[in-house]
Amino acid sequence: MKDILINGRYRVDRKIAAGGFGLVYSGTDLESGEEVAIKLTRNGDEKALLLRNEKEICEALSGGVGVPRVRWLGDECEYCALVQDALGPSLEDLFNYCGRRFSLKTILLVADQALSRVGYVHSTGFLHRDLKPENLLLGVGGRGNTLHVIDFGLAVDFTDAERYRDAEGVPRWGTREYSSIRSENHRHLSWGDDLESLGYMFVYFARGSLPWEGLRGRTADEADRSIKEMKESLSGEALCEGVLPREFARYIDYARSLGFGEKPDYSYLRRLFRRLFAAEGFKRDNVFDWTEKRFHEIAS
């Protein structure tokens, strides 16, 4: 079978994922021999605009730790193709591998890196607007313990925040389970909303699910209203009760308290978790739950 080549250089090998942006393939850079990730979507589709948006934002973020490098974006036959550095498994993949529970140590290690990545994205003037376990991936090789942020198709330049302040009735951005209360109320998002999404992710890792998952209604509007009301009714303390220390409740309440356009204190939040890490006697050795599980599988 004849190889499928992108830009005459990148060979499409196998499909590895599918999502709202299109299809993702593992590929090979025939000039360097390196593995790459190739996103494909049909030209003329709205998804092609997301790929072009992602390319522009990744280039604006280039040089930052945990940001995938864009190698090429262009048209190939009827497709729009985005070629990036290959990365490892997502946090969702690893969560499933670990039996759908992460230990407190692993959640804290993830939280420290995630806050650093999001703080960097925000420092360049962008909001991500779709933070979730599937969009946080580990690297490969020497970057195997480094968390990377991907999928900037829904990201937006927020340097001119004032023009968004009073808008109402906007679409709900991101993935429902992790979307913020402001998003549920169809308001434009701000810096704190990305952090709120991370907070729900930490709770998910500790509980195995989120309280509003699976809520249904007789109509879509009724289901939407039920999810919004549950999110609004559950404080950080209620979300973390029995599964996470009070520092996580403080984090969620802090993220929710931030006003529109109010910059978070990332250093304060990282100190909050680092002090808890030290108080628990954990070692900063980059040994995650999946590291231990894989070691024991190999050893046995």
pLDDT at 120: 97
CA distances from 203 to 67, 103, 293 (A): 24, 11, 22
pLDDT at 21: 65
Please list the ranges in the chain whose pLDDT falls under 70.
1, 19-21, 161
Q: According to CATH, where is 3.30.200.20 located in the chain?
A: 5-85
pLDDT, one tens digit per residue, over 260-294 is 999 999 999 999 999 999 999 999 999 999 999 99
CA angle 79, 68, 179 (to 5 degrees): 85
Q: According to CATH, where is 1.10.510.10 located in the chain?
A: 91-290
pLDDT at 161: 67
**Percent of residues in the chain assigned helix, strand, coil, to nearest 5:** 45, 20, 40
What's the pTM? 0.93
Quote the CATH superfamily of domain 5-85. Answer: Phosphorylase Kinase; domain 1 (3.30.200.20)
Does residue 130 have an active-site annotation? yes
**Cβ neighbours of residue 101 under 8 Å, at least 6 residues apart?**
205, 206, 208
Q: Contact, 172 vs 184, CB < 8 A?
A: yes
- Chain-centroid distance of CA 213 in Å reads 18
pLDDT at 211: 96
Spatial CA neighbour of 185 closest among 198, 168, 202:
168
Q: What is the CATH number of domain 91-290?
A: 1.10.510.10
pLDDT at 1: 59
pLDDT at 291: 96
Q: Report how far residue 158's alpha carbon sits from residue 220's, in angstroms, rounded to the nearest whole number.
A: 30
Q: Which of 29, 85, 130, 194 is catalytic?
A: 130
pLDDT at 213: 93
| For the chain, counts of helices (H) and of strands (E) | 10, 10
